[in-house]
Amino acid sequence: MYAVIETGGKQYRVTEGSSFDIETLPGDVGAQVEFTGVLAVTDGDQVKTGNAVSGAKVVATILAHGRGEKTIVFKFKRKKQYRRTQGHRQNFTRVLVDQVVA
């Protein structure tokens, strides 16, 4: 059984027992989080989408907060002596899916 949820402007395919990184959520490590933005739920061969999943939710536990790998942003214009280097690290929250309630 898996579900497709939406959080932080992105969509994720989750199953029970899986962990994944999402945009930063408020809350302490070990806190329970409910995702009610469920877009689809499947159980075996049946796939429910739209109004059929209106009561569905995904319950997860916050495992950790952290920062991702550094990304280098480099701007360059030739013959104009223009060079700019900037780094970026995106914050994330790692969650563990406890259950998918359809």
Backbone angles phi, psi at 59, to 5 degrees: -105, 130
Give, as one character, the DSSP assignment of residue 37. -
Percent of the chain's residues with pLDDT above 90: 79
Domain regions of the chain by residue span:
2-101
Residue showing tokens 């949820």: 5
Could you read off the pLDDT of 49-91 as tens digits, one per residue?
888 778 899 999 999 999 999 999 999 999 999 999 999 999 9
Closest by CA to 95, choosing from 17, 4, 2, is 17
The structure's pTM equals 0.82
Asked if pLDDT for residue 1 goes beyond 90, the answer is no
Could you read off the pLDDT of 5-53 as tens digits, one per residue?
999 999 999 999 999 999 999 999 999 999 988 999 998 888 888 887 7
The pLDDT value recorded for residue 51 is: 81
